[in-house]
Amino acid sequence: MALASSLDLSPGARLRSAEAVRTLGGLGPLALQQALLRERARAKHPRGAELWWTAAALEQASSYDLAVHRARRYTGPVLDLCCSVGGDLLALPQRSVGVDLDEARLLLAQANAEVLDRDVALLRADVTALRLPAGADVVADPGRRAGGRRVFDPRAYSPPLDVVLGWRDRVRSLVVKVAPGVDHEALPDDLEVEVVSLRGDVKEAVLVGGAARTGSRRTATLLPAGDVLTDLAVPVPEVRPPGRWLLEPDGAVVRAHLVAQVAAQVGGWLVDETIAYVSAAARTPTPYGKWFEVLEQLPFGLK
């Protein structure tokens, strides 16, 4: 810990630090790797430079803002399946339980809990073999990487998404992190889909079942402000040429299929059925997108 924290990773000193750790044997490169991971982790967690990571765990870990947002659903302990190094677990209420099959990640999760002074329990187990308590609130983050690459087919998640969704009939509530591009039409009707963006960048989609549902089928949440747009029934927007103003909806709105709801809010229309842009005669303030003034319209051409 002390060695990883002491390395100077500023652009001018990084090469010297790499050369220095070579004299320390096997621990030197490990310390350098951990220091580099912590430097990257600053963008995800306010105390990321103090926590323990693996490269794969950091790639899939939730940003701190997203983990805190998710934790607001709960007032009591939660069962975190596929908890990895604790990115979500350590934002959940005290006495929550994390489960993972990777012993190394559990050791890092325990170390991270100590850094953040969190009271959690950790269990090494195959989550597909667990007997889940009927009254449990469960969050799950199935692996979405294989061989260092992202997996887009939910059937290739680890465990597969259909296996994870099968748990929702056995527990009080189930919240599952998935890729933002998940096919809504392929999901069971009893699930809520929440798409979350952070400072304009889409970060994840979350499937919500059981008692954790809000009552909507689709929602878009924009962090850090916490603005939430739901699938409230609205008329199908008109399609016509652009007016004076053009609105580019936030990516979470687009991924949650809520462009029509934004159009209704701002009194606008679509410029094309297949393009997620809203136009309007007046600029109505909205947190759900960015306005651009139309200065000139030119004929379309490929050149």
pLDDT tens string 239-250: 999 999 999 999
Sign of CA dihedral 142, 123, 33, 6: positive
Q: What is the pLDDT of residue 3?
A: 46
| Last-in-domain residue among 228, 252, 268 | 228
Does 293 map to a domain? no
Does 195 map to a domain? yes
Q: What is the pLDDT of residue 119?
A: 98
Q: Let me know whether 179 and 212 are in one domain.
A: yes
> What residues make up the domain containing 11?
2-41
What digits encode the pLDDT tens for the residues 76-93?
999 999 999 999 999 999
- Long-range Cβ contacts of 293-299 (<8 Å, 24+ apart): 293/244, 293/245, 293/246, 294/242, 294/243, 294/244, 294/245, 294/246, 297/241, 297/242
Q: Let me know whether 32 and 163 are in one domain.
A: no
Q: Which residue has the tokens 């008692």?
A: 211
Q: Let me know whether 94 and 213 are in one domain.
A: yes
Q: Let me know whether 97 and 18 are in one domain.
A: no
pTM attached to this predicted model = 0.88
Does 236 map to a domain? no
Does 19 map to a domain? yes
What is the enclosing helix (H) or strand (E) of 112? helix 103-116
Q: Let me know whether 116 and 196 are in one domain.
A: yes
Interval 146-153 mean pLDDT: 81
Helix residue spans in 7-100 (DSSP H): 14-21, 27-41, 55-60, 64-71
CATH number at residue 115: 3.40.50.150
Q: What is the pLDDT of residue 274?
A: 92
Q: Let me know whether 15 and 161 are in one domain.
A: no
Does 190 map to a domain? yes
Does 50 map to a domain? no
Does 264 map to a domain? no
Q: Let me know whether 9 and 115 are in one domain.
A: no
Domain count, the chain: 2
What digits encode the pLDDT tens for the residues 174-206?
999 999 989 999 999 999 999 999 999 999 999
What digits encode the pLDDT tens for the residues 26-66?
556 677 788 889 999 999 999 999 999 999 999 889 999 99
Q: Let me know whether 199 and 136 are in one domain.
A: yes
